[in-house]
A and B are shown apart, each in its own frame.
Chain A
Amino acid sequence: MKRLEADGRHRVGLALNGREASGWAEPRMLLSDFLRHELGATGTHVGCEHGVCGACTVRLDGTPVRACLTLAVQAEGRRVDTVEGLAPEGELTELQRAFRRHHALQCGFCTPGILMSLTAWLETNPAPHEGEIRELLSGHLCRCTGYSGIVAAALEIAEAQAGRRADD
């Protein structure tokens, strides 16, 4: 059994957006703070720190989770994907471009988390279904947009994917 002392700082290594990264964390350090303060990946935002707002949503081994409800030490040896990994070469993804077209963001505070949830969802090749998108978005709070643009952007990409599948 691994025991990490409360007042010690422990080395945590993980694969951040496909690259090895490591930093130091006390056991109580949240994954959200570890990403932002230790690894400098400030794209992941922190709103409520109790799991409600969804701003901190990242992918842990591919699955969207709340970084504020995960300890940094729990991510040891695992894959963590954040918004920075979506456009590594600076070229936006299809979904990000659709966000721009549909005005799916205003202040952008909620956007990184929403992009992580929607990106994971789109990888499952979903049927383009508005209800499902709204269900997924219920795990995110956006105080600016009223969600319509976000739904429209996600729907457009899901439809485009479905169209391509039909063509194959």
Chain B
Amino acid sequence: MKPAPFDYLRAEAEEEAVSALAEAGDDARLLAGGQTLMPMLNMRLVEPAVLIDISRLPGRAAIADDGTAIEVGAAVTQASLEAWPALAGRAPLLARALPLIGHAQTRSRGTVCGSLAFADPAAELPLCLATLGGEVVLRSRAGTRTLAATAFQTGMLSTACREDEMVAAARFPAAEPGAGYAFAEFARRHGDFAIVAVAVIARENGLRIGVGGVAERPVVAEWPLLEGDALDDALDALAWSLDADDDPHVSAHYRRALVQGLGRRTVLAALEART
């Protein structure tokens, strides 16, 4: 339960981090908040030769609102985004999802971009980013590229981030005027990864619904405004389309039932939250 030896590099600038990454290639791992990587190191699931600490990168510790999107830098913790005074008004979906991530004692170090980079299919932040239609900014020595959430997260724990790239920032579209946002998840214990998580944006003339925890990555559907049986039918079709599997914790049937039940509740909450 102790990490294997590694060289430790503390990057003080992004250029340093990406140069070190380019040199070390797949022998290196980036350490941001460490709330996923450190357990993996402790259990020796990963044994990198070099650890590049980006948790104190001065240029990437900021949350910036450019009017259309909220840009969150690689060193921003989940707790500091949660405490951002404009959060509820500018990013209501994140305001609802952040308190559900792990525990206060892990959000204090866990980063927003780190969660996206890890790409757990049941994690809250990738689901929010996909549902909102956000983007990820990737940086390497060769330059910067920006990918849509759907192009970034390619599958279970896998992303389009190359070995020589770091997730430098994430861009979450800002609240649309009039729209309502809701997020809900079901887990056996508070702070666990969700068995099923649902995010919904209710607009004047339509719904956007994202589901996490069932397929390999968050799945997002775009619907007209639905209610009653039509909503139940759409949720039923969505639940079946996700190819849920049985696992040691719950059955596929159970997951589908959660998509339907939690989905309905979350859609109604989003409709209610419209202003």
- Chains A and B belong together in one complex: yes
- Footprint of B on A, CB under 8 Å? 1-7, 26-28, 30, 33, 49-51, 54, 57, 60, 63-66, 68-71, 73-74, 117, 135-136, 138-140
Please, which residues of chain B bring their CB within 8 A of the CB of A49? Answer: 1-2, 39, 42
**Which parts of B72-90 form the interface with A (CB within 8 Å)?**
79
9 closest Cβ contacts across the A-B interface? A139-B103, A27-B8, A50-B39, A69-B38, A6-B5, A138-B190, A139-B105, A28-B3, A49-B1
**Which parts of B3-35 form the interface with A (CB within 8 Å)?**
3-13, 16, 20, 31, 34-35
Determine chain A's interface SS by DSSP, over half rule: mixed
Please, which residues of chain B bring their CB within 8 A of the CB of A74? Answer: 53, 55
Q: Is B20 touching A51 in the complex (CB atoms < 8 A)?
A: no
Contact A51:B9 (CB < 8 A) given known A64-B105, A136-B104, A139-B105: no
Q: Is B191 touching A70 in the complex (CB atoms < 8 A)?
A: no
Nearest-CB distance from B53 to chain A (Å)? 7
Please, which residues of chain A bring their CB within 8 A of the CB of B109? Answer: 60, 65-66, 69-70
For A1, give the chain B residue with the smallest CB separation: B16
Contact A50:B5 (CB < 8 A) given known A65-B109, A69-B109, A135-B104: no
Q: Is B104 touching A1 in the complex (CB atoms < 8 A)?
A: no
Q: Is A139 touching B191 in the complex (CB atoms < 8 A)?
A: yes
Query: Among the listed A1, A65, A70, A136, which residue makes an inter-chain contact with B9, where contact means beta carbons less than 8 Å apart?
Result: A1
Q: Is A5 touching B7 in the complex (CB atoms < 8 A)?
A: yes
Query: Among the listed A5, A33, A54, which residue makes an inter-chain contact with B105, where contact means beta carbons less than 8 Å apart?
Result: A54
Please, which residues of chain A bring their CB within 8 A of the CB of B34? Answer: 69-71
